[in-house]
Structure 1
Amino acid sequence: MEKETARIEAFSDGVFAIAITLLVLELRVPEVVGAEGPGVVAGKLMAQWPTYIAFAISFFSIFIMWVNHHKLFKQIYRRNTEIMFANGLILFLVCCVSYPSSLLAQFYDTDSQQLVISIYTGTFVLVNLSYNLLWFLACRDRTLLRPGLSEAAILGIRNNYLYGLPTYVAAFGLSFYFPVSALLICILLWIYWAISSKKVEMRGNSEGEINKTY
């Protein structure tokens, strides 16, 4: 069966590339008044540590989102209007990541830490929901999926997305009381999925290996 999603994937790759590039705009050269020495400049650079952390976290989160988006569309061969709009929702949220990242960089080391981390973790609850929605819509009409993809593989991918949802919701709830711990949960999830991610191998009509999904 001919794959119909090439344009969707190409457009999506472009959006992911732009979103991940926008993150670097948060890295700003510190203002220097006069001929300040290296010690002063180093101090100002060190003072921007929340910005560096927010940039690194957001870069790798978007990258992992792209990896899983790519793997998901390895299993989706055809598209309909619902698939296109669900994919559009994912891309919208990808573009939104730069804003909570900016908030995290600017207000992490302030009294507003809890608020910005709640916004940040809440964003990824929505991201996870959008991936669940895309796969749900794809599975509802099995003719949209890759030929030979087994029922066990389909359910395995679905379950991996669903397993991530309560963890993100828990992190969001925890952010109101222990914001740093909530942010750490998100980071650990991304590290885990990045390390354990595996390709879905097609083995005729037999069960394939299921990747850990975002």
Structure 2
Amino acid sequence: MEKETSRIEAFSDAVFAIAITLLVLELHVPPIEAASHQPGGLTAALTTLWPSYLAFGLSFFSIYIMWVNHHKLFKQIYKRSSPLMFANGLILFLATCISFPTALLAEYINTSYINTAVALYTALFVCINLSFNLLWWLASKDSSLLRPGLTSQHIRAIKRNYLYGIPIHVLACLLSFFYPVIALLVCACLWTYWAFTSGKLDMVKEESTS
């Protein structure tokens, strides 16, 4: 079966690359005045920017994990449909939105407004997780769109891998109003888990072609 999704994947890769690039725009060099008026000089001025480093690291990692999983999903999707393309567009739209809550998080994480900043940040990832589930649901409900030989067991395994992310991200969003730091840790742990379990999709590929 000829793969029809090459252009979708190429365009998606470009958008993910731009989304990651936008994050670095929130890292700013401290002005000379800030360094000269602090006892520790430039080192102290750079240290005060730790919220920006943290927000950048979290968001870079999250977008990269999105790209890895998106790439592996499209190893299982061979044909395109209009609903599938629009669902993919939704994922890309949300990926490009990450730079805004990242900037907000960097600015307010060390203030009394941290709850609102983290709530917006985690809410965006609830939407992202829903969009990934939508993409796979649209692809899997029509088996003609999928890789030849992909069994219903494989399809359910991929579905489960993404489905449990919804309640965890919702939990993180709710926690952000009371324990914002724990909410960020919950998200980071989930992304780390996905980073290590994304290899399951490669196993699906190997099994389905054996």
Q: TM-score if structure 1 supplies the norm length?
A: 0.92
Return the letter of the residue paired with 2:195. A
Deviation string 1:62-103 (CA, Å, 9 cap, x unpaired) is 000000000000000000100100000000000001110000
**AA in 1 matched with 2:66:** M
Q: Distance in 2 between matches of 1:150 and 1:92?
A: 31
Mapped partners of 2:209, 2:46: distance in 1: 56
Partner of 2:109: 108
Q: Distance in 2 between matches of 1:68 and 1:76?
A: 12
Return the letter of the residue paired with 2:6.
A
- The residue type equivalent to 1:98 in the other structure is S
* Distance of 1:93 and 1:138 partners within structure 2: 19
Deviations, residues 158-192 of structure 1 (Å, cap 9, x unaligned): 11111111111111111111111111100111112
Aligned-partner Cα distance in 1 for 2:34–2:86:
53
Report the CA distance between 1:201 and its aligned residue. 2.7
Task: Give the equivalent residue in structure 2 for 1:25.
Answer: 25
Find the aligned partners of 2:105 and 2:143 in 1 and give their Cα distance: 41
Alignment of 1:41-120 (within 5 A): 41-120=42-121
Are the aligned partners of 1:149 and 1:202 in contact in 2 as well (CA < 8 Å)? no
1:15 is matched with which residue?
15
Separation in structure 2 between the aligned mates of residue 74 and residue 96 of structure 1, nearest angstrom: 25
Cα 1:31–1:137 shift into 2, 3 Å: same
The answer to whether the Cα contact below 8 Å between 1:113 and 1:179 also exists between their aligned partners in 2 is yes
Q: Partners of 2:114 and 2:34 in 1: how far apart? A: 33
Contact 1:150 1:205 in 2 (8 A): no
**Matching of residues 120-135 of structure 1 within 5 Å:** 120-135=121-136
Aligned residue number for residue 189 of structure 2: 188
Assess, with a 3 A threshold, how the Cα gap between structure 1 residues 205 and 150 changes in structure 2: closer, same or farther.
Answer: farther
Q: Give the distance between the partners of 1:174 and 1:161, measured in 2 at CA.
A: 21
Conserved 8 A contact 1:148-1:202: no
Q: Give yes or no for contact 1:128–1:161 (8 Å, CA) kept in 2.
A: yes
1:203 pairs, out of 189, 201, 207, with 207
Supply the AA of the counterpart residue of 2:22: L
Compute the displacement of 1:113 (Å).
0.3
What amino acid maps onto 2:207 in structure 1? R
Deviations 1:4-48, CA, capped at 9 Å, x for gaps? 000000000000000001100011000113993893111111000
Show structure 1 runs of 5+ residues with no match.
207-214
Please state how far the C-alpha of 1:195 moved relative to its aligned partner. 2.3
Structure 1 segment 133-144 matched on structure 2, within 5 A: 133-144=134-145
After superposition, the CA RMSD in angstroms is: 1.6
For the 8 Å contact 2:34–2:45, the answer to whether it is kept is no
TM-score by length of 2: 0.94
Distance 1:142 1:92 in 2: 26
Distance 1:119 1:35, change over 3 A: closer
How far apart are the structure 1 equivalents of 2:111 and 2:86?
A: 38
Separation in 2, partners of 1:130, 1:58: 18
